[in-house]
Amino acid sequence: MECFCIDGGVPLSGTVSIDGAKNAALPACIAALLTDEPVILHHVPQLRDVSTILYTLGALGRRVVRHDDHVSIAAGKGLSAKADAYSVRQMRASFLVLAPLVARLGRSVVPLPGGCAIGARPVDLHLEGLRALGARVEERDGVVTVTADRLTGGRVALPYPSVGATEQLLMAASLADGETVIENAAIEPEVEDLVDLLRKMGATIEMNERTIRVDGRSELHGAEHTLIPDRMEAGTFLLAGAITSGTVTAEGLRSEHMVSFLEALGSTGADLEIESTAVTVRGPTRPRPVEVMTGPHPAFPTDLHPPLVAYLSLAGGSSRLTESVFEDRFAYVDALRAMGAQIDRDGRTLAIRGGDSLRGRAVEATDIRAGAALTLAGLAADGYTTVTRLEHIDRGYSGLERKLRALGARIERSQG
């Protein structure tokens, strides 16, 4: 089993380039199912999850060509209505193939999705939205079958601004007959990036705060698109600099996508230099405590909750973090406690009493962001830390140990 071996206690220093956003790449690849013409994507990160989605598209009959961070997706041997069960159950985002397939073929058969075990994340909002556009939905033995002679525009009021449901409905509505209005839609930068791509493919979409209007088309065409940078990767590296009291510049990002995160980081006493495409952090000797609540964009992003808690475990006082998005995003807490963090949990709220130091331990990454949190804790800890289950980390971070080494970290990937 592969693991990270980390000899902590070294302040990080230097500049790191941010990859394309994983959470933008996955729906963008799936949107290529909406046309037989080539969709060319640039700045695509080299991640396990991206490989999974490209395999899924290939199994559906698409011709996928990948070279470095460029991907071309076009018609191949014909489009299948049935998604590969193994790949869909590896990753929740694969469930988004449902809408393009039913819009193109009138039928889609997709297993219920898998992914990180951080909460229920039900697909009910996806299915109810498709029903509102005239689809018929049947669930049996862990498989969803959706049929429609022709999707028709309608009004969908989401009870929660779900990113996945918004993306599913955007793709369905783009090929529906008539206008679709999505109310209380997600407005994450990754959703806006999908809208940008769909517009390039010929869709007519208007966004007004959390209301999105889509004027459906009979067909879409190919397009070329460059993905936005990954704000979660950028935040992780800035926290890596802060937790080690180092100086790290993350370049190639969009700081306007990270306002709530940067405000929280600055409140801890970290010195920030913020430009439109780069942010430099100078970590404090000891962070100040803060209170943070995660939520849909523009609130503090849930994916940066675990790395932030690792950082706050060294604060000079008591911090509080409330997780309002995923009810089970706390599997990493026991591992941080084993490293010396003083954390109490009450429902969805953590009380973090900052300590003087963390201790190196053998810990396990239970999901992508838990792995990031434990890696950051290891960078700051006294002694050696080993982090196992790297397959989770590789789903969301490309070459994490290589980039950290370039900043001065003593970290190696090895066979445990």
Here the tokens at position 338 are: 């084993």
Tally of structural domains, the chain: 2
The three-point CA angle 243-291-297 to 5° equals 90
Which of these three, 164, 185, 217, is where a domain ends? 217
Same domain (yes/no): 235, 373: yes
- Residue 140 is predicted with a pLDDT of 87
- Residue 309 is predicted with a pLDDT of 98
- Residue 119 is predicted with a pLDDT of 37
On whether the pTM is more than 0.75, the answer is: yes
Which of these three, 217, 245, 267, is where a domain ends? 217
Same domain (yes/no): 248, 327: yes
Q: Would 222 be classed as within a structural domain?
A: no
Residue 20 is classified by DSSP as B
Percent of the chain with pLDDT over 90: 89
Q: What residue type is 260 in one-letter code? A: S
Q: Would 113 be classed as within a structural domain?
A: yes
Q: What is the CA radius of gyration of the chain?
A: 21
Same domain (yes/no): 358, 312: yes
Same domain (yes/no): 13, 34: no
Percent of the chain with pLDDT over 70: 98
Q: Is 116 a catalytic residue?
A: yes
Same domain (yes/no): 313, 395: yes
Per-residue model confidence as pLDDT tens digits over 30-60: 999 999 999 999 999 999 999 999 999 999 9
Per-residue model confidence as pLDDT tens digits over 59-79: 999 999 999 999 999 998 899
Same domain (yes/no): 97, 53: yes
The CATH number for 176's domain is: 3.65.10.10
Same domain (yes/no): 262, 363: yes
Catalytic residue among 3, 5, 29, 116: 116
Which of these three, 217, 238, 254, is where a domain ends? 217
Residue 41 is classified by DSSP as E
Check if the beta carbon of residue 215 is closer than 8 Å to that of residue 176: no
Q: Pick the residue with more confidence: 83 or 363?
A: 363
Same domain (yes/no): 178, 297: no
What average pLDDT does the chain have? Answer: 95
Kindly state the average pLDDT of the residues 296-305: 97
* Chain centre to alpha carbon of residue 340: 28
- Identify the band that residue 120 occupies on the pLDDT scale cut at 50, 70 and 90: very low
Q: Would 302 be classed as within a structural domain?
A: yes
Per-residue model confidence as pLDDT tens digits over 240-252: 999 999 999 999 9
Q: Would 88 be classed as within a structural domain?
A: yes
- Residue 416 is predicted with a pLDDT of 64
Residue 197 is part of which domain span? 22-217
- Is the per-residue pLDDT at 15 higher than 90? yes
Same domain (yes/no): 269, 386: yes
Same domain (yes/no): 41, 151: yes
